[in-house]
Structure 1
Amino acid sequence: MKGNANIIRPYYSEKCPVIKALEILGGKWRLAIIWELSHYKSLRYNELKRHIDGITNIMLTRSLQVLEQHHLINRTDYGQIPPHVEYSITADCQALLPALEIINEWGKTRIEVHRAQS
């Protein structure tokens, strides 16, 4: 075969918005953090950690840093001793919540299917 006429190109590319979104939101804990914060005006670090079962301090800290870098959460440091820092979601993150609601409903369905099969 000559030329590139029959080459199958992948559906996604470097500039695919889905891939970009998954780069930002990927990782085990980022969506869980966003989901938890979405239910509160703000949470302190230890409160958030208590709400997310199984997350380590290192993973919570790293995930919060990435989400803050992408302007999905706000970190408010009150400059007190002992430290008083609160986290909340941004307006950009609010726009993501309808998609998370859909994922939440899909997850509930998967749980029910799994229970029925057990």
Structure 2
Amino acid sequence: MATSARQGPYFCGIDAAMDVVSGKWKSLILWELHEHGTRRFAELRRGLPGVSEKMLVQHLREMEEDGLVDREVYPVVPPKVEYSLTEHGVSLNAALESLAVWGRERIERIGADKITVEVA
């Protein structure tokens, strides 16, 4: 069996997990879909200030390939595409929850500013 960067071999479970969530935006995309449910591309982009269209497209494609995100295309004009978490994505998001708790505690400990996002 041929291997690639996305198929191992892995040193440990953390290595395999980080292969799937590596990149600045993937965990934030997971969280956005968890918090708001099914979203269209523009809604995701508004919910992730600073992400470029190119990067969002790239990460969504990779996450779809990894079985984390479902992409539903509706046969209408203009085109309508919606993204949602798969069961696998939901389970990964649950695993990341303790990391989010740690991060919130760090924000408080170091007195960092927290970005507030307006939800449309």
TM-score by length of 2: 0.81
**1:69-108 correspondence runs (5 A):** 69-108=65-104
Which residue in the other structure is 2:62 paired with? 66
CA deviation string 1:34-66 (max 9, x = no partner): 011011230000000000010000000000000
Contact 1:35 1:100 (8 Å CA) reproduced: no
| 1:77 aligned partner, one-letter code | V
Q: CA deviation at 1:97?
A: 2.3
Structure 1 contact 75–88 (Cα < 8 Å) conserved: yes
Greater mean alpha carbon deviation, residues 26-35 or residues 97-106: 97-106
How many pairs align?
A: 104
Question: 2:39 — aligned with what?
Answer: 43
Structure 1, unpaired ranges of 5+: 1-12
CA distance in 1, matches of 2:27, 2:93: 10
In structure 1, what is the Cα distance between the partners aligned to 2:106 and 2:52?
Answer: 26
Match for 1:24: what amino acid? V
* Cα separation, 2, equivalents of 1:98 and 1:77: 26
Question: What is the Cα-based RMSD across aligned positions, in Å?
Answer: 1.5
Q: What SS is found at the alignment partner of 2:61? A: helix
Instruction: Mark the structure with the bigger radius of gyration.
Output: 1
Task: Give ranges in structure 2 of 5+ residues lacking alignment.
Answer: 1-8, 113-120
Once the two structures are TM-superposed, the CA of residue 98 in structure 1 deviates from its matched residue by: 2.3
Tell me the SS of whatever aligns to 1:21.
helix
The answer on 1:22 being equivalent to 2:38 is no
With normalisation by structure 1, the TM-score equals 0.82
Secondary structure of 2:36 counterpart:
coil
